[in-house]
Amino acid sequence: MISVIDKLNGLLNTLIDNVVGFLPDLIGALLLFVLGLLFAKFVRWVLRKALLKIRINDFSEKIGLENILKRMKKDLLLSNLLSDIAYWIILMVLIMGVSTILGIEIISNQITMLIAYFPKLLIALVMVFIGYMIADKIRKVVYAAITTIGITGGKIISNILFYIIFVLVLINALEQAEINTSLITSNIILIMGSALLAFALAYSFASRDILTNVLSSFYLRGRYSEGETIRIGDVQGKILKIDSISVILQLTDKKVVIPSKRFISKEVEIIM
């Protein structure tokens, strides 16, 4: 009959055998982790120096990427971001190798899935960046065009257009990253549609006179010239300038700004 002491000795011997058998794997895993960590830090340092050498931060400033990075984190540079990304990729591969040596398959499998997902995430981030740049450029062009023709609310209109474009790009980027956007898309479309309808109605009433003056100015440019002397109603003077919404007349002792629509609704006499 086996005594209790014999059972304990058997369990102890089994434990010692397991520890002794596992010890080489543990030492190998620790050695691999230390060497891999040093290698990751070395690669980060070399890559950062190389990126600074080719002036990649100046390039990011020219294309407007630096402003985006600073919004994410103050003093964040593209050279630091790319070198840190390389560092963490090496670190993930290192952890996957260590977990494989130690027999922890669940960790290595999860990291493998994460590494396989990384290209999709990178493409999504590139889409967001390019979309932001395009939306910002369109915002500036629209704002300049609206300001030139003299319509008020140019900043509001250009900002609304910017956010519409950027939200659409963001939704496509999320789909590229395999994130379900059906609920987000339906809610955003409903909100944006309601907001645009309300804005269009409010703006149409608020800018009705301005649009009338703008259209009238286009008509006036083919009928009158700067330097001509005219009489409209009780006002007589020389045309100094015809802008997008009004006509500036030089009277004897003052200047008068007359809305362009008055030239359509009233009789105008050209004095030779």
Give the pLDDT confidence of 65-122 residue by residue, as tens digits: 777 667 666 677 778 888 888 888 888 888 888 877 777 777 777 777 777 777 787 8
Query: Which DSSP string do the residues of 145-186 spell out, in sequence order?
Result: HHHHTT-S-HHHHHHHHHHHHHHHHHHHHHHHTT---HHHHH
- Which amino acid appears at position 17 of this protein? D
pLDDT digit string (tens) for 164-187?
A: 888 888 888 877 777 776 666 666
pLDDT in tens, 199-246: 666 555 555 666 666 666 666 666 777 878 878 888 888 888 877 777
Q: Which CATH code is given to the segment(s) 210-271?
A: 2.30.30.60
Give pTM, 2 decimals: 0.52
pLDDT in the model for residue 42: 92
Element containing residue 216 per DSSP (H, E): helix 208-221
